[in-house]
Homo-oligomer: A and B are copies of this chain.
């Protein structure tokens, strides 16, 4: 609220983005007008257009924040060398951290449906990420580390289905930090709930 740009009172782009993404997540991106975002911020629409050209710019910034984080996580996991199953576990652990740190951005990413150019490109990048996970799964199977009877493609979908499902209920809290959450997800997905 205290950030200023060119001497104007108001929000900086980062705070504007945070508020916009929270309104998008509440009401849906498409259903949210810039009028509604301006109202939440308590500023005029033209004060928003001081920072961006269109609503889609906010969406672009938000989904890139999520996707860049996930792709960085993938690069770091694969750079660790070693067996594919361990890279997968590292990727899941890192992805949980990204999810926790960038929860509103990842939430928005996982809810878009491809109705605009920005959304179509974001869904393309998601598919690229999913293919990369499926590739690691196939390599884990070749290396003999995947449980027998687990189809690598299906296993990849279930694994990231589990990770992505966190957005439905996880809210940052002191009782359950990102590392404890990542432990629980990895234990469940890789070792199973049963003794």
Contact = CB atoms under 8 A, between A and B. Distances in A.
Given A31-B28, A165-B165, A195 B147 contact: yes
Contacts of A191: 147, 192, 194
A54 interface: no
A47 interface: no
B195 A155 contact: no
Contacts of A140: 193
9 closest A-B pairs by beta carbon, nearest first, are A161-B165, A192-B192, A191-B192, A190-B194, A162-B162, A165-B165, A158-B188, A190-B192, A31-B31
Interface of A: 28, 30-31, 85, 88, 110, 140, 144-151, 154-155, 157-159, 161-162, 164-166, 168-169, 176, 181, 183-185, 187-195
